[in-house]
Amino acid sequence: MKTRHFFSSLFAAFAALTLVNIASAASLTLPDELQVQGSEVQVGHEQIVLSLDAGKQLVELVYRDIFADNADDSGAWVTSEPLYLALDVKGDDAYRLVLPEIVTQQDARAFISAPKARLVSQTGQQQELTLMNHQQLMEKIWLAQ
């Protein structure tokens, strides 16, 4: 009887700790055109929703989309080099990254050359962000020393 009570108490404590950990994680929803490359974040059930711990986060992304000029065209992929998103995540907020309107290959190339996005929190707060390329990331790290 004591063993059963011990294990049920242990299980309840484990479940509570798991729920606290899940509840303290923030989420970041990405548009379909951005793919996660490498980071310390955990990908949720869908590839476009990330679970992030509170604090400073760095997410490596790649922009990738296909454009077709007409119905007979099989399309052309436009892909960026890695882009880096640096953000300071607060507790259990839910964030959404919104890209500018990209309709044509020219729009996509313009975005890749100057990648800006808008970060929207669940409370409606918006922040304009610039995604960094590798050189800009290294420069930022160097200047922070």
Looking at the chain, the whole-number percentage of residues with pLDDT higher than 70 is 74
pLDDT of residue 25 exceeding 90, the answer is: no
Assess if residue 40 is contained within a domain.
Answer: yes
DSSP state, residue 73: -
C-alpha–C-alpha distance, residues 117 and 59, integer Å: 14
Q: State the alpha helices, DSSP H only, in 83-133.
A: 105-113
75: left (phi over 0), alpha (psi -120 to 50) or beta: left
Asked if 100 and 113 touch (Cβ cutoff 8 Å), the reply is no
- pLDDT tens by residue, 47-89: 588 999 999 999 999 999 998 877 666 788 999 999 999 999 8
C-alpha–C-alpha distance, residues 47 and 30, integer Å: 9
Assess if residue 51 is contained within a domain.
Answer: yes
Query: In which domain, by residue range, is 115 found?
Result: 25-144
> In the chain, how many domains are there?
1
C-alpha–C-alpha distance, residues 52 and 41, integer Å: 6
- Which residue's entry shows tokens 């436009």? 78
pLDDT of residue 102 exceeding 80, the answer is: yes
pLDDT of residue 44 exceeding 80, the answer is: no
Assess if residue 52 is contained within a domain.
Answer: yes
Q: Name the strand (E) or helix (H) holding 134.
A: helix 134-144
